[in-house]
């Protein structure tokens, strides 16, 4: 005869129903986490870092907190939807790369159809959200950003040209224009300059990361610049875009009516970034075994965050 645990029989131990209930809850949490992973939340954080300072500059001070909130929600929905659609389209090559082999579609945590439906829901929802909560121009720019990333970058450019990330990065710049129009209902030179800063920032930010993962991209047949060009050419291109980024950042002084505080801070930050970019080329030319490309990658994140912090502070001066 099989013994029965008296704790279960009298409700003092875990019942079968209780264990199953916990398993269902764990499964649900795992499924939710998988869908959240489709949105690439860490990338979205970087996009939103540029939105609030842009809105502060557009307002000439602190904008409505409610407007900031709805703009950030809309930006999250738009970027999350575009990223989910990107993973749906790229599921074949994601399975070939170590850096993307853990993505939810590849692991089977989310089905391709589920990811497609989720991405479309977020994308369409974000456009509707901006149309209802802000204005038609912000909604139109949101739709353009999604199309640029999903169609322009993912479908047309990523697998065809080593300049893919240059033009694909333009979609990430659109949040700046969206944030500005959410406040003003129109565009001007100042947000276009900030757009240019992030546009030129994207290659020096992403190519160092691509250097670390170039074997992955080569295995998947994606012609990222570090895959198809010598390291010295990659470093020179990084320097070219870095100079364009720094010079564009200084154009905000006349375009945005910035104070000397911004001018000095932008020049100092730009000088530091250019030093790091040229240092990368020096290490390449010396033939260093480790060119420390990730140093520039992490530095690019700090540069952008600090520059936009300066933009926000300057608006109050």
Range of the domain at 71: 35-184
pLDDT of residue 28: 61
Residue 74 pLDDT:
95
Residues 231 and 144 in one domain: no
- Tell me the per-residue pLDDT of 118-140, one tens digit each, with 9 for 90 and over: 999 999 999 999 999 999 999 99
Same domain, 41 and 165: yes
Whether 25 is in a domain gets the answer no
Output the average pLDDT for the chain: 90
DSSP states along 219-249: HHT---HHHHS-HHHHHHHHHHHHHHHHHHH
- What is the number of structural domains in the chain? 2
Domain boundary among 184, 204, 229: 184
- Predicted confidence band at 7 (pLDDT cuts at 50, 70, 90)? very low
Question: Six-digit token pair at 13?
Answer: 């131990």
Residues 307, 198, single domain; the answer is yes
Residues 208, 176 share a domain? no
Q: At residue 66, does pLDDT exceed 90?
A: yes
Range 55-79 average pLDDT: 95
The phi-psi region of residue 257 (left if phi > 0; otherwise alpha if psi is between -120 and 50; otherwise beta) is left
* 57 and 102 housed in the same domain: yes
Q: Does 170 share its domain with 42?
A: yes
Q: Tell me the CATH number at 64.
A: 1.10.357.140
Alpha carbon distance 18, 32 (integer Å): 21
What is the pLDDT at residue 234? 95
- 42 with 180, same domain: the answer is yes
**Residue that has been written with the tokens 């994207």 in this structure:** 202
In which residue are the tokens 């954080």 written? 45
User: What CATH number is associated with residue 269?
Assistant: 1.20.120
Section 260-266 average pLDDT: 98
Give yes or no for residue 2 having a pLDDT over 50.
no
Q: Considering only CA atoms, give the Rg of the chain.
A: 23
Whole-prediction pTM: 0.89
**213 lies in a domain?**
yes
23 vs 263 pLDDT, higher one: 263
pLDDT at residue 301, rounded to an integer: 94
Please answer whether residues 45 and 112 qualify as being in contact, where contact means their C-beta atoms are separated by less than 8 angstroms.
Answer: no
Q: For position 12, what pLDDT does the model report?
A: 52
Q: Give the closest residue to 178 by CA, choosing from 26, 298, 52.
A: 52
- Do residue 281 and residue 172 come from a single domain? no
pLDDT tens, 168-210?
889 989 999 999 999 999 999 999 999 999 999 999 999 999 9
pLDDT band at 213 (very low <50, low <70, confident <90, very high): confident
pLDDT of residue 23: 47
- Whether residue 101 is predicted with pLDDT greater than 50 in this model: the reply is yes
Asked if 41 and 176 sit in the same domain, the reply is: yes
Within a domain: 299 = yes
Same domain, 266 and 249: yes
**278: in domain:** yes
Among the candidates 124, 157, 184, a domain finishes at 184
Residues 70 and 171 in one domain: yes
Same domain, 199 and 314: yes
């Amino acid at each position: 005869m099989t013994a029965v645990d008296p704790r279960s029989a009298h409700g003092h131990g875990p019942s079968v129903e209780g264990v199953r209930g916990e398993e269902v809850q764990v499964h649900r949490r795992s499924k939710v986490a998988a869908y959240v992973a489709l949105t690439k939340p860490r990338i979205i954080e970087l996009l939103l870092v540029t939105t609030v300072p842009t809105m502060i500059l557009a307002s000439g001070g602190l904008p409505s907190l409610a407007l900031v909130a709805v703009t950030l929600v809309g930006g999250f929905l738009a970027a999350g939807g575009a990223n989910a659609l990107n993973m749906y389209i790229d599921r074949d090559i994601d399975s070939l790369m170590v850096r993307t082999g853990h993505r939810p579609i590849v692991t089977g945590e989310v089905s391709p159809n589920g990811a497609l439906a989720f991405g479309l829901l977020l994308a369409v929802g974000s456009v509707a959200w901006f149309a209802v909560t802000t204005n038609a121009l912000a909604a139109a720019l949101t739709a353009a950003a999604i199309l640029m990333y999903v169609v322009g970058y993912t479908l047309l450019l990523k697998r065809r040209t080593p300049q893919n990330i240059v033009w694909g990065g333009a979609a990430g710049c659109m949040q700046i224009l969206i944030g500005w129009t959410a406040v003003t209902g129109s565009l001007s030179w100042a947000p276009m300059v900030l757009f240019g800063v992030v546009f030129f920032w994207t290659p020096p930010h992403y190519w160092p990361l691509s250097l670390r993962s170039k074997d992955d991209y080569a295995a998947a047949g994606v012609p990222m610049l570090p895959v198809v060009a010598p390291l010295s050419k990659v470093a020179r291109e990084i320097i070219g875009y870095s100079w364009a980024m720094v010079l564009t950042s200084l154009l905000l002084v006349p375009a945005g009516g910035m104070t000397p505080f911004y001018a000095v801070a932008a020049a100092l930050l730009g000088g530091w970034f250019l030093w790091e970019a040229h240092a990368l080329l020096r290490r390449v030319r010396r033939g260093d075994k480790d060119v420390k490309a990730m140093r520039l990658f992490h530095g690019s994140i700090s540069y952008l965050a600090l520059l936009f912090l300066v933009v926000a502070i300057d608006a109050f001066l």
